[in-house]
A and B are shown apart, each in its own frame.
Chain A
Amino acid sequence: MSGFRALLHKEILRFWKVGFQTVAAPVLTSLLYLLIFSSVLDTQTRINGVRYMSFMIPGLIMMSVLQNAFANSSSSLIQSKVTGSVIFVLLPPIGYVEFFTAYMTAAALRGVMVGIGVFIVTCGFSPLEFAAPAWILVFFVVGGALMGAFGIVAGIWADKFDQLAGFQNFLVMPLTMLSGVFYSIHSLPLFWQKVSHFNPVFYMIDGFRYGFFGVSDAAPELSLAVGLASLFVVASIALLMLRSGYKLRV
């Protein structure tokens, strides 16, 4: 347990020390998305009865949570692998479950911190409701944990920074961007609607949005089930990798 606490503390300290890059910068990016999209698109448009700008805000918040949770665990691992400093966490008596939990928790925490930051800077632009706040919290946690765990898998698997960048650019970015952040999937052609239903990130954003407006494309219970099932799969992969020492212990 003491190993978990120390590792979690270290992981939090790591991103907090460069908080300008790891928290402030992504908040600014989301703010720019909001300003640009809402100025080029018709602000009178309503989606599921919600003003377009209001509709977009929860999507942007959740997108930030997901992307930053992934970025945190994956970049921490790849960085320490490439520089060799990963041995400092491999030499101590830290079990693989502790290891996993610490990296995932820190990643989720960074995601949620960025998410809260995005909420603070965007909430003044368009009215928001809080129809079901419990769902907001649940998806904050599940979304952050899911992508934090996914970042662990990617960070362990990648040997170089550019492999990780590939992961980020060709998997994480498309999955998050094409998940209904900027639109309702009902506005998509039927084929792409179907495709979206295979994207776990869609459910995270859709369920999160339900917490605000009480309306969503999928039922929040279904979204939560998909999120938890995905988390279970990704966490199992990460734990198996860590237990076997895959790419960490030769």
Chain B
Amino acid sequence: MGTAVSFQNVRKTFGALCAIDDISLEIEEGEFFGLLGPNGAGKTTLISCLAGLARADSGDISVMGFDVVRDYRETRRRLGVVPQELVFDPFFTVRETLRIQSGYFGVRKNDAWINELLENLDLSQKADVNLRSLSGGMKRRVLIAQALVHKPQVIVLDEPTAGVDVELRQILWQFIRRLNREGHTVILTTHYLEEAESLCERIAMLNHGRIVALDTTRNLLSENANRMLSMRLKNGNLLPETLRGRAVLDKGAWVFRLNTLEDIEPLLAAVRESAQVFEELQLVQTDLEDVFVRVMHANEGSGEGNPKRGLE
């Protein structure tokens, strides 16, 4: 398996604003990759540079080994982008839209695949309806179908589920998972972190145009901050000196981050030895949202200590 998409030292500024600040990133063929970050982090800009909608100020971007500026025909053929904005061409029906889009990519006689797309996205009923008269959710489905009409090797979805109903989310993920199993590389940005957690094998977190975390989802969850032990001590009881540096005080409870469950025993032993008494003891499972908040928080450089390093 080779590299599907590669960003090397990519920078993009808008006037004084640095939207992408020296990003280097490689996404493997067949990967399901997540691009997370708060609003304004630079996710859409990064995708725009990849898709040729924007031109990076410096750095190299390639798709399947082709440079997005020099070999733009090769790269665009291999990319299918679902844009963040709900845009549509009001002149055409769903089927016309998909046929026209096929034509742009030089794919002719594409009706079998178009029908499959319509079926999989539950759009068959609307095939001959004008885009203007479709609901927002339906328009979103058409955008997804448009992005897939030329069977791109790399599928890029920029917040495809923002503001769409649960039904569509399920339909969409079922279909995208299938395409991923069949070998398509998927790059996803989303605000729904549980979506990213369940779908993405690897995740990059962006903030202010920089990558602030990049790892497999599993590692982000386990090594970084998978479990936390929260202990509240009886009034007046103090945490032993030896443990002080390893915990963060959160609303009166001491919170320890654990690498493995085996880390618990020494902690409990230390508390017992110092003859302190627990009032409450809780094992907290961290989800991606916690990781996200923590990473972003640490990246802002505020707060007492870097929680990521709590146990180091």
Residues of A within 8 A of B (CB): 2-3, 5-7, 9-10, 13-14, 17-18, 80, 83-85, 87-95, 245, 249-250
Contacts and interface: CB of A to CB of B under 8 A. Distances in A.
B100 A92 contact: no
- Chain B interface residue count: which class? 20 to 34
In this complex, which of B73, B103, B146 has the most chain A Cβ atoms within 10 angstroms of its Cβ? B103
Given A2-B103, A91-B52, A13 B91 contact: yes
B53 interface: yes
Interface stretch (B80-88, B162-170, B198-206, B280-288): B80-88
Contacts of A13: 91-92, 96, 100
A92 B105 contact: yes
A245 B72 CA distance: 13
Contact of B53 (A6, A17, A90, A93): A90
Contact of A87 (B53, B72, B73, B91): B53
B87 to A, nearest CB: 4
Contact of B87 (A7, A83, A94): A83
B100 A91 contact: no
Interface of B: 14, 48, 51-55, 72-74, 76-77, 79, 81, 83, 85, 87-92, 96, 100-106, 108, 146
Nearest to A83: B87
B106 A3 contact: yes
* Secondary structure call for the A interface: helix
B58 to A, nearest CB: 15
Contacts of B81: 91
B53 A18 contact: no
Given A83-B88, A249-B54, A250-B53, 8 more contacts: A3-B103, A6-B106, A10-B103, A13-B100, A88-B87, A90-B53, A93-B77, A93-B104
Contacts of B88: 83, 85
B76 A85 contact: no
Contacts of B51: 91
B77 A9 contact: no
B91 A88 contact: no
B104 A6 contact: yes
Nearest to B54: A250
Contact of A88 (B77, B79, B104): B104
In this complex, which of A7, A18, A89, A250 has the most chain B Cβ atoms within 10 angstroms of its Cβ? A250
Given A91-B76, A91-B79, A95-B73, A83 B90 contact: yes
Contacts of A83: 87-90
B104 A89 contact: yes
A250 B77 CA distance: 20
A87 B104 contact: no
Contacts of A84: 83, 85, 87
A249 B146 CA distance: 20
Contact of A93 (B48, B73, B87, B90): B73
B77 A17 contact: no
Nearest to A89: B104
B87 A9 contact: no
Given A3-B104, A5-B103, A245 B73 contact: no
Given A10-B100, A13-B96, A250-B54, A93 B91 contact: no
Contacts of B72: 93
Nearest to A86: B87
Contacts of A6: 100, 102-104, 106
A87 B156 CA distance: 14
Nearest to A244: B55
A8 to B, nearest CB: 10
Contacts of B77: 93
A187 B225 CA distance: 88
B73 A249 contact: no
Contact of A14 (B73, B91, B103): B91
Contacts of B89: 80, 83, 85, 88
Contacts of A90: 52-53
A2 B91 contact: no
A88 B101 contact: yes
A2 B96 contact: no
Contacts of B101: 88, 92
Q: What 5 A-B pairs have minimum CB-CB distances, sorted nearest first? A: A6-B103, A2-B106, A92-B104, A84-B87, A93-B73
A188 B219 CA distance: 83
Contacts of A88: 87, 89, 101, 104, 146
